[in-house]
Amino acid sequence: MATPRIPKTDQAKQAQLDNLLEHVADQLGDITPLVMDRFYRDYPEARVLFVDLACGYPERLEASMVESALYCVMTWFERPAEIHIILAEAVPHHELLGVPVAQFIGLQVAVIDTIVSALPSDGTHDRALLVEIGAALTEVISAYAEGDREAC
């Protein structure tokens, strides 16, 4: 699989995303516990890996990983090239640590699913926007996991 092309910035989508994320932040506050509950439900074996890799501070590692995944979502339309570069470095780093790519993607999906769960029932356009981001990030992560290391 070739690395997906880096999309152009999209200020209209970024504005929509900023608005929906502000709403979700007001509603949920820190999403870390919600994301990790969802993630560990889907990947229970990952809990041991977090403990093993966290040097005694698994909660700190969890918060850092959720923050990184959320950053990728938050800036996808504003700075897509930056997100490609981050993922081009992060995927092999996590592979070296023994983190399966499915879990790497799973955490990204858990972040997006947590955000989607807080949207109002009439938030069809917001859901579609998050599905678009999730699909794009999954595609990029998968491409780098398959060995395509070109960032652009």
User: What is the tally of structural domains in the chain?
Assistant: 1
Whether the pLDDT of residue 11 is over 60: the answer is yes
CATH assignment at residue 132? 1.10.490.10
Residue 61 lies in a domain: yes
Whether residue 99 lies inside any domain: the answer is yes
With 70 as the cut, is the pLDDT of residue 32 above it?
A: yes
- Which pLDDT score, from 0 to 100, does residue 150 have? 54
Strands (DSSP E) found in 26-81: none
Listed in sequence order, the residues at least 6 apart from 59 whose beta carbon sits closer than 8 Å to its beta carbon are none
- pLDDT score at 116: 97
* In a domain? residue 115: yes
Confidence grade of residue 49 (pLDDT, cut at 50, 70, 90): confident
Residue 118, in any domain of the structure: yes
Q: Is residue 6 part of a domain?
A: no
57-73: average pLDDT: 92
How far is it, in rounded angstroms, from Cα 47 to Cα 44? Answer: 6
Q: Would you say 110 and 39 are in contact if contact means Cβ atoms under 8 Å apart?
A: yes
State residue 151's pLDDT score: 42
Q: Which two tokens stand for residue 88?
A: 């081009």
Residue 47 · residue 62 · CB < 8 Å: no
Domain of 51, in residue numbers? 11-145
Angle at 4 between CA 146 and CA 149, to 5 degrees: 45
The pLDDT of residue 95 is above 90: no
Confidence of residue 152 (pLDDT cuts 50, 70, 90): very low
Q: Is residue 3 part of a domain?
A: no
Q: Out of 9-18, 46-55, 70-79, 102-111, which region has the weakest mean confidence (pLDDT)?
A: 46-55
Instruction: Establish if 152 belongs to a structural domain.
Output: no
**Among residues of the chain, what percentage have pLDDT more than 90?**
68
DSSP secondary structure code for residue 9 in this structure: P
